[in-house]
Chain A
């Protein structure tokens, strides 16, 4: 039997090692993208929501998030607090008690981020009503809904959405956002990347607060 040449053996071992160590690691573009679609499912006081939702604010809310197996981090942020859970269990609950005069007034959305077992991010956004009363019909990303007081719209940045009212209203927004365009009782607005705020007020002073979240990348993971 012919003995193997030791030099050949070394080459056999080293060559693939050199090849693999020179490989460029694949990078998920979503990690570095400014706006990623919100897709995380929530269960709030027994009602399920997918991605984004406007919920009636209460003094104590049970917020359940389902984490896929191996999730590395579960992160929450409001206008007042940041909470983090390392390696959260699959169905974690959080009793959210909004801080008086901070989290229970005005806009104070809850942002949720999950970092999955592969290091990919996933988002969820909860908006809460804050005493506003003006109802509106929202046509957002192909879905029509009627919301009282406050609403949230998530859609691809650059697309047009529509909100309408039963009574004449005046619309206000920030200079960073696309101004809404009026057409009789409805307004169209173009989704900007990230968050934007719109306020609609009728002649009686009743308000509707609309939050928009425009994403650039679909969450396909």
Chain B
């Protein structure tokens, strides 16, 4: 009986630990995703710069 209770306690502890680890892993991934966004967010401006360089090239070619 006591052995069974012990096993049950172990399962509960194991679940608790796994759940905490999972939450920690999700929080880590969210932070990584936000950190990556700091660099990704300027891609629209960088693409605009690229098109401006291309326009310049086209203008020079048409002269």
CB-based nearest A residue for B14? A16
Q: Which residues of B contact A17 (CB under 8 A)?
A: 13-14, 17
Query: What's the tally of chain B residues with a CB closer than 8 Å to chain A?
Result: 42
Across the interface, B25 reaches (CB within 8 A) one of A21, A119, A211, namely A119
- Chain A residues positioned under 8 Å from B32 (CB to CB): 31-32, 119
A63 CB within 8 Å of chain B? no
Contact B48 A13 (CB under 8 A): no
Name the distance in Å between B23's Cβ and chain A's nearest Cβ: 10
A82 located at the interface, meaning its Cβ lies under 8 Å from any Cβ of chain B in the complex = yes
Q: In the complex, A52 Cα to B15 Cα: how many Å? A: 41
Cβ-defined contact, B34 with A12, below 8 A? no
The answer to whether A111 and B43 touch (CB under 8 A), given A23-B21, A119-B33, is yes
Evaluate contact between B47 and A20: CB separation under 8 angstroms. no
- The answer to whether residues A106 and B30 also contact, given A17-B17, A20-B18, A201-B58 and a CB cut-off of 8 A, is no
In the complex formed, the residue of A with least CB distance to B58 is A172
| B13→A72 contact, CB < 8 A | no
Contacts A16-B14, A106-B52, A120-B29 given; indicate if A77 touches B6 (C-beta within 8 A).
Answer: no
Please judge, given known A-B contacts A13-B9, A16-B10, whether A79 and B48 are in contact too, CB under 8 Å.
yes
Identify which of B9, B33, B43 contacts A115 (C-beta below 8 A).
B33
Q: Nearest Cβ in chain A — how far from B12, in angstroms?
A: 10
Given contacts A72-B30, A118-B29, A119-B26, contact A82 B21 (CB under 8 A): no
A58 to B1, CA, bound (A): 73
Q: Supply 16 A–B pairs (Cβ within 8 Å), ascending by A.
A: A4-B6, A16-B14, A25-B21, A26-B25, A72-B30, A109-B44, A111-B44, A113-B40, A118-B26, A118-B29, A170-B58, A170-B61, A174-B54, A195-B47, A197-B50, A211-B47
Leading 4 A-B pairs by shortest Cβ distance: A119-B29, A77-B41, A107-B51, A119-B26
